[in-house]
Amino acid sequence: MEDLELSTPTNLRRILLTLEYDGSGFAGLQTQAQGERTVQQELEAALSQIPGARPKIWPCGRTDAGVHALAMPVHYDTLDNIPTEKIPHALNTLLPPDIRALAAQEVPADFHARKSCHWREYRYRILQRRMPPALDRHRVWWIPHSLNLIPMRHALECLVGTHDFKAFAVKEERATVREIYRAHLEVWPTEGGREIWIEFVGSGFLRGQVRSMVGTLVEIGLGKRDSSSIQSLLASGSRKDAGPTAPAQGLYFVRAGYQPYRQ
């Protein structure tokens, strides 16, 4: 591979992959210092088996342990001449079954999966019913108690816009101002209950922000706090006054956009 890279540097291509993965068996997307299993580790191991591919990926964002992705963009560079439409199939023969490459396209050399991104969308799934799930136990947050969705929707409206989301960050970050373009709640009937989807589209999110917002919204739905507490939290920036961090298994990275967001 080294001889190929030295002799044909002008043949370098940048490939944008779209990944789907079940986060249940991973310690997150990015490589961990402790050597735990991650999505990045598995994907780079697969790329290392393709002659000419440089086994280093740059994802659009990061997901924590247990968080899933429906369409996570990542880019990598390669000297191979595999047609882009065949790259997903080639990778899927090398990847474990809990990661799948869905699509691939060649992008300009200055494209960056994270830096070129304009917006990201996340979805959180809550299963509200008396009995716990068997099939979706690693894919939803099971809540056996009734949730009042009216104040939850009112609280969601308060989160839209540009705010300092320090109260919802799980660790100290220097810059905590983000913009949320859309915050939405949908309900789907299920056997013996209902499934609630809470969706966010934003310019970017702090680590743990979505799960912290969901945990606070659930407390509002349970009547443990008023919907106006969202505005107080945004003003105070106090993490200890916010709700708990929702479990990882209910969170999904849905997609990313590389053009300005339009509803």
pLDDT tens figures, 82-103: 999 999 999 999 999 999 999 9
Q: How confident is the model at residue 9 (pLDDT cuts 50, 70, 90)?
A: low
Q: How confident is the model at residue 170 (pLDDT cuts 50, 70, 90)?
A: confident
Any known ligand binding at 122? Answer: yes
Contact 159, 183 (CB under 8 A): yes
How high is the pLDDT of residue 3?
A: 41
Q: How confident is the model at residue 5 (pLDDT cuts 50, 70, 90)?
A: very low
The whole-chain average pLDDT of the chain stands at 94
Tell me whether residue 22 is one of the annotated catalytic residues: no
How high is the pLDDT of residue 10?
A: 66
Contact 251, 122 (CB under 8 A): yes
How high is the pLDDT of residue 32?
A: 85
Mean pLDDT of all residues in 165-186: 92
* Distances 172 to 109, 207, 242 between C-alpha atoms, Å: 34, 10, 15
Contact 61, 200 (CB under 8 A): no
* Distances 144 to 67, 92, 222, 246 between C-alpha atoms, Å: 22, 38, 11, 15
Looking at mean pLDDT, say which of 79-83, 124-128, 168-172 comes out highest: 124-128
State both tokens at 50: 């393709």
Instruction: Inform me whether the pLDDT recorded for 1 exceeds 80.
Output: no
Q: Angle CA(114)–CA(117)–CA(123) in degrees, nearest 5?
A: 95
How high is the pLDDT of residue 173?
A: 77
Question: Which one has a higher pLDDT value, 59 or 81?
Answer: 59
Domains of the chain: 2-107 (3.30.70.580), 119-257 (3.30.70.660)
Residue from 3, 22, 64, 77 carrying the catalytic annotation:
64
Give the pTM: 0.93
Instruction: Inform me whether the pLDDT recorded for 7 exceeds 50.
Output: no
pLDDT tens figures, 50-74: 999 999 999 999 999 999 999 999 9
How high is the pLDDT of residue 171?
A: 76
Instruction: Inform me whether the pLDDT recorded for 39 exceeds 80.
Output: yes
